[in-house]
């Protein structure tokens, strides 16, 4: 029943995305002018939460726009009603619904749905990762030099040593392709599917990575923080790879290794 509810919830959110896409809807800003929230975000979130609470009214909810709907339940639904809102608002179909399900502090299930590409990614702890009911696996590249990477940039630039732009510059100066899609959940799913070999980002929220993190792990990849320690969706920094290039990418991200 948990998985059925998860799938119903992402599809309910996806239906709202399709309803509003390339139409007229209100747009407002949050932390800054380019940190957007749209009428569609709220409609998707409402549909998702209603779907979950119909079956599990006592479960904890953590969602990007609503925030926390607290309870004493050991189950927590971590929701991004539209990951890639800027893309969505501009009619770019690289955006999705992302939902992770946590039990007693561990992510046990996740789903990411892009209705415009008709791609539904699903992962269950210990059961593997799937794309449209077909099992997926990470790539087999063995070095960063011939990898295809993906990253994201925070809305407010993080002015730290070896920050996002510095790492990006290091990589592209070595002719290593680095993409920026604008959706962390899709970035992670595409690592899981072997389309990208690695992903790194300096500043994520739990709803950005809760489902995609599990997707990579269940597809045979590796996910850590920048120090190589076990990843938690409640921390900001993330490196996700096929596992084979992981240590090399950690070195590059920390400015300790020249490609």
What confidence score (pLDDT) does residue 162 get? 81
H-state helical runs in 28-129: 39-55, 85-89
Angle of the 2-20 helix axis to the 39-55 helix axis, nearest 10: 160
**3 state SS of 189:** helix
pLDDT score, position 189: 98
In-domain check, residue 39:
yes
The residue among 93, 109, 135 that closes a domain is 135
The region of weakest confidence among 13-22, 47-56, 228-237, 250-259 is 250-259
Last residue of a domain, one of 106, 135, 164: 135
Least confident stretch, 61-70, 111-120, 201-210: 61-70
pLDDT tops 60 at residue 34? no
Residues 151 and 249 in one domain: yes
Within-domain flag for 206: yes
Confidence tier at 5 by pLDDT (50, 70, 90)? very high
Contact between 197 and 148 (Cβ < 8 Å): yes
Percent of the chain with pLDDT over 90: 82
Both 61 and 102 in one domain: the answer is yes
Q: What is the pLDDT of residue 104?
A: 96
Same-domain status, 208 and 85? no
51 within domain boundaries? yes
Name the pTM for this structure: 0.94
Task: Verify that 178 and 210 share a domain, yes or no.
Answer: yes
Domain of 91 in residue numbering reads as: 2-135
Asked if pLDDT for residue 32 goes beyond 70, the answer is: no
pLDDT of the residue at 66:
81
Yes or no: say if 99 and 84 are a contact pair by the CB < 8 Å rule: no
Using alpha carbons, select from 158, 155, 157, 148 the residue that is nearest to residue 187: 148
Q: Both 95 and 213 in a single domain?
A: no
What's the number of domains the chain is made of?
A: 2
* CATH code: domain of residue 65: 3.30.540.10
- pLDDT classification of 2: cutoffs 50, 70, 90: very high
């Amino acid at each position: 029943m948990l998985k059925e509810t998860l799938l119903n919830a992402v599809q309910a959110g996806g239906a709202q995305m399709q309803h509003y896409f390339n139409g007229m809807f209100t747009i407002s800003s949050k932390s800054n002018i380019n940190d957007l929230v749209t009428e569609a975000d709220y409609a998707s979130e409402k549909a998702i939460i209603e779907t979950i609470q119909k079956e599990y009214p006592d479960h904890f909810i953590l969602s990007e726009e609503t925030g926390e709907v607290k309870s004493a339940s050991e189950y927590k639904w971590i929701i991004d009603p539209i990951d890639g809102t800027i893309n969505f608002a501009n009619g770019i179909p690289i955006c999705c619904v992302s939902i992770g399900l946590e039990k007693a502090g561990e992510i046990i299930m996740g789903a990411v749905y892009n209705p415009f590409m008709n791609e539904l990614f699903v992962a269950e702890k210990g059961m593997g990762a799937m794309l449209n009911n077909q099992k997926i696996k990470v790539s087999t590249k063995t070095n960063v030099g011939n990898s295809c990477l993906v990253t994201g940039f925070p809305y407010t630039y993080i002015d730290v040593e070896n920050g996002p732009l510095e790492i990006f510059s290091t990589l592209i100066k070595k002719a290593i392709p680095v993409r920026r899609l604008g959706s962390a959940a899709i970035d992670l799913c595409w690592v899981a599917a072997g389309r990208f070999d690695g992903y790194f980002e300096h500043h994520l929220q739990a709803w950005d990575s809760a489902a995609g993190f599990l997707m990579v792990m269940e597809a045979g990849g590796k996910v850590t923080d920048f120090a190589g320690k076990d990843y938690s969706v409640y921390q900001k920094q993330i490196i996700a790879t096929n596992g084979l290039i992981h240590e090399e990418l950690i070195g590059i991200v920390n400015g300790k290794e020249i490609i």
